[in-house]
Structure formats: structure tokens, C-alpha cells
Amino acid sequence: MSAGEESLRPYLRDARATPEAVALEPTPFPQTTAEEPLESLYPDWQRRLTRNLARRSDGRWEPLTRTHR
């Protein structure tokens, strides 16, 4: 996968990714913290959900929500 494709599809991972590489990936779901206590949907969450459901489920899904102050 080229660098351009990687930036467009951050939810994809190499099939030969090591456990260490997987552990370095950001958390798959937003988690609220004391610094970022609010969670809200992305404006395009419906399109994201459609893309998530339209592809194979062996990769990481695009997040539908984000955390913020």
C-alpha cells in the first residue's frame, strides 16, 4: 500500500502486521477522558457507516463518533 493510499484508508492494516504494530495503532473506538469528556457523531456518520458495512469486516472500521471538550 502506498503512502497516499494509507492516508486515505487509515482503517486498513497489512495482513502481515505484527502484534507490536497492531498495539501501536490508535484505539479503535473513541474513549471519553477527563480532558475530553464529550462524545459526538461525525457529521458524515451515515456515509461512514455505509462504507464500514460495505466492505469486508477483517479491517478496522472508520469511527462514527469523536471525543472532544
Residue 46's pLDDT is 95
Q: What is the pLDDT of residue 1?
A: 47
Q: What is the pLDDT of residue 9?
A: 56
Q: Pairing state of beta strands 38-41 and 65-68? A: antiparallel
Query: What residue ranges do the domains of the chain occupy?
Result: 3-68
The answer to whether the beta carbons of residues 41 and 47 sit under 8 Å apart is no
Tell me the per-residue pLDDT of 13-27, one tens digit each, with 9 for 90 and over: 777 888 898 888 877
**With pLDDT > 90 as the criterion, what percentage of the chain qualifies?**
25
pLDDT band of 12, cuts 50, 70, 90: low
